[in-house]
Chains A and B, each alone.
Chain A
Amino acid sequence: MRVRKGLSAVAVALVAALAATGCGGSDSGGSGKTTVTMWTYPVIFDEAKHRAHWDETIKAFQAANPDIEVKTEIFPWANRDQALATAIAGNKGPDVVYLIPDQLPKYARNIEPVDKYLDEATKSDLHENVVQSVSIDGKMMGAPILTSASTPICNKKVFAAVGETTYPTSWNDLLTLAPKFKAKGYDITAYVGDAKQTLNQTFYPLLWQAGGDVFSPDGKSVAFNSDAGKKALGFVKQLVDGGYVDKSLITAVPPIEQTRIAQNKVGCMWSTPVAEVEKFWGKENIQVVPHFTDTRQIGYGTVGSLSMLRNAKDKEAAGKWLAFATNAEQTKKYDLASGFFSPRKSTGPLFADDPVLGEQEKQVGASTVGPLHEKARDVQGVLSPEIQAALLGKKSVEQALDDAAKAAAPLLG
């Protein structure tokens, strides 16, 4: 009897505990205030500075909107999709989240378009390519707050050691310089072929430079096995077969300090951000060059935006917040603090005096965010191993791209 009573007590306690934990929502809480939650990531590397930016922005926002409380959480970049997807699936996602175009198609069904929350002046102030980069089916899936340009960067120290004073601007330049670098024990560049690496930063820039694209214009089939694709992969293979790049990076990416890039043995990189090499090369040794050219001069860049999730508790409040957080004034502050570039025309160049960022900023217009296709990531999943196969000599360039296209076909229905 006592046991039964005890069991009942335990059951009641557990139910009460579960009920208590289940009641941890984040809306008004009876105070008459609405709470907007926002998830973001270390866009500003220094967490204290990043936190201070949002605290200050929230304070300014609340002066005009005293009934809306904003809570921001800064998560690490690593596994962010895993955390966000799980939270959305469990209906515990934030109201507003920082996303880049690569993520937008996959979350499109969970995103509330932001067009109606941004006024016409804002929309016309945004660069045309920026608006396109965050639009799916003609609807803006996020309010842009920053842009970037992953331009090639060259190591002045390496060029000095090789005795070169001109920096490459095209594939031809790279191929011409490559033997000279090799003879002196340096690599002209590096190709990172690890499957975890996004092709947006590795292979696709070459594909675009050769005049090709990942998908056909209607998005119903892939187009990377075109002549342009074969030319782009052929170019990388030429670098690999000639011994002009570190072959080990084709299959695995060790921490950067273990690579020849960090050891000042690589001339130029188009897939590595400035922040990653700065401490090994020294900022004074970084030479930014325009996106490389073959038939087109183009490269990768991204657009960071604040998106509202469809399950946002109070869409009006969330809309007011994201419009405020991405207005011209806040955007400028954020971009200056983070070292990214403005998506707006009215702010003008932000880093004209900075020899590195200033040069990269000039390339924003020549940058693209990559395909906004629902199956873009899935297609990368089948293409990456085939690129490795071609570079390791297991398949010809043509065979590898055709096999990848065959594997991609069922994904696109």
Chain B
Amino acid sequence: MVALPGSRGRRVRRPSAREAGTALLFVLPFLLLFAVFRFGPAIAGVVLGFTDYTIGGETGFVGLENFRRLVDDPTFWSALRVTAVFTVLSVPLSMLASLGMAMLTRRAFRGAKLFRSIFFLPVVTSLVLAGVVFTWVFAEGGPWSRAMGAIGLPAGSWLADSVLVIPALVLVSVWSRFGYGMLILLARMQDIPAELEEAALTDGASAWQRFRYVTLPQLRPALFFVAIIETTVSFQVFDMIYVMTGGGPVRSSYSLVYLLYDQGFKYFDLGYASAVGVALFVMTIIVALIQRLTLGREE
């Protein structure tokens, strides 16, 4: 974990057994629910990845067969590539948008709260609904293609283009997600002692220098959190793709979770679908660890 500024060096009193017991009592319901509805199914999912489980059939242990099948499955590699490209594009963009909007709305100017609420609105908007609207926005002859045409770029539908479909989906994803990151960063910004900026100002630091050397380092823990959340969400992208492109054109937007969904709920090959889920989990953990080593390291 990353220590919050000011917490380092503070003596922490160890709770008594009674206090710990009381605390545990309060945590217990959540712990039980977590174990039953999250941890249990996750473990079951991993176990299923080693079986040939399908609805109503005999279930047998197949060892690493499903994972071997994954390695040989071109659809898996194509879905992995789509997911990776989507994540690489959407996470930084979403973080940049979150940071930019947080910077713009951090000051207490007239209407700041209204703007924050407006920017947060897409987060609470159904992705399915947003998908329907953006399908129209990106359609041939829709507002986006007209705007592209007006500035001399190709005016076709981005969703029908195997190269541009991912950028189009990334734009929708950033639109729907940046408000969440903005709120996290904003909360952290409010916590940065004003004296730090004032001192930098007194020393003649420019606005960029104050941002680069005062604000940004202070935001590191929050940025780490946002990066982890955004990466996880991007790895799990599905509903928006399902509504907007159905994984097309020609599987150009067919993500790993889409593959998992199809295998599990369309073809009922739940053992293989679980193997896809395990692969996705392992990748998410690896990327989170890399982020932990870079963004999340303690100063």
Taking beta carbons and an 8 Å cutoff, which residues of A are in contact with B?
Answer: 3-4, 6-7, 10, 14, 79, 81-82, 85, 88-89, 106-107, 109-110, 193-197, 247-248, 250-255, 258, 310, 377-378, 381-382, 385-386, 388-389, 392, 394, 407
Chain B residue numbers with a CB within 8 Å of A388 are 248-250
24 CB contacts below 8 A, A to B, read A6-B25, A7-B24, A81-B266, A107-B56, A110-B56, A193-B248, A247-B160, A248-B139, A248-B140, A252-B135, A252-B139, A252-B245, A252-B246, A252-B248, A253-B246, A255-B132, A310-B56, A377-B266, A378-B267, A381-B267, A385-B251, A385-B254, A394-B250, A407-B75
Interface residues on B, range: 35 or more
Known interface pairs A7-B21, A251-B245; A381-B262 also in contact (CB < 8 Å) = yes
Chain A residue numbers with a CB within 8 Å of B122 are none
Encode contact with A along B215-256: 1 for CB under 8 Å, 0 otherwise: 000000000000000000000000000101111111100100
Q: Which residue of B lies closest to A111 (CB)?
A: B56
Tell me the complex Cα distance, A110–B54, Å: 11
Determine if A194 and B246 form an interchain contact, defined as CB atoms under 8 angstroms apart.
yes
Determine if B28 and A252 form an interchain contact, defined as CB atoms under 8 angstroms apart.
no
Known interface pairs A251-B160, A381-B266; A7-B249 also in contact (CB < 8 Å) = no
Partner among A79, A248, A407 whose Cβ is within 8 Å of the Cβ of B160: A248
B157-177 residues at the A interface, CB under 8 angstroms: 157, 159-160, 162
Beyond the given pairs A14-B29, A258-B135, 16 more chain A to chain B contacts, judged by CB atoms under 8 angstroms and listed by A's residue number, are A3-B21, A7-B25, A79-B265, A85-B265, A85-B268, A194-B246, A195-B248, A251-B248, A254-B132, A377-B267, A381-B262, A385-B247, A388-B250, A389-B250, A392-B160, A407-B75
Q: Which residue of A lies closest to B132 (CB)?
A: A255
Partner among B28, B74, B251, B265 whose Cβ is within 8 Å of the Cβ of A7: B28
> With an 8 A cutoff between CB atoms, is B213 at the interface?
no
Q: Which residue of B lies closest to A1 (CB)?
A: B18
Chain A residue numbers with a CB within 8 Å of B132 are 254-255
> With an 8 A cutoff between CB atoms, is B136 at the interface?
yes
Determine if A250 and B160 form an interchain contact, defined as CB atoms under 8 angstroms apart.
yes
Determine if A109 and B56 form an interchain contact, defined as CB atoms under 8 angstroms apart.
yes
Chain A residue numbers with a CB within 8 Å of B56 are 88, 107, 109-110, 310
Q: Which residue of A lies closest to B270 (CB)?
A: A89
Known interface pairs A4-B21, A196-B242, A248-B157; A85-B55 also in contact (CB < 8 Å) = yes
Tell me the complex Cα distance, A204–B42, Å: 39
Tell me the complex Cα distance, A255–B251, Å: 21
Chain A residue numbers with a CB within 8 Å of B248 are 193-195, 251-252, 385, 388
| Chain A nearest Cβ from B94, distance in angstroms | 23
Tell me the complex Cα distance, A310–B267, Å: 20
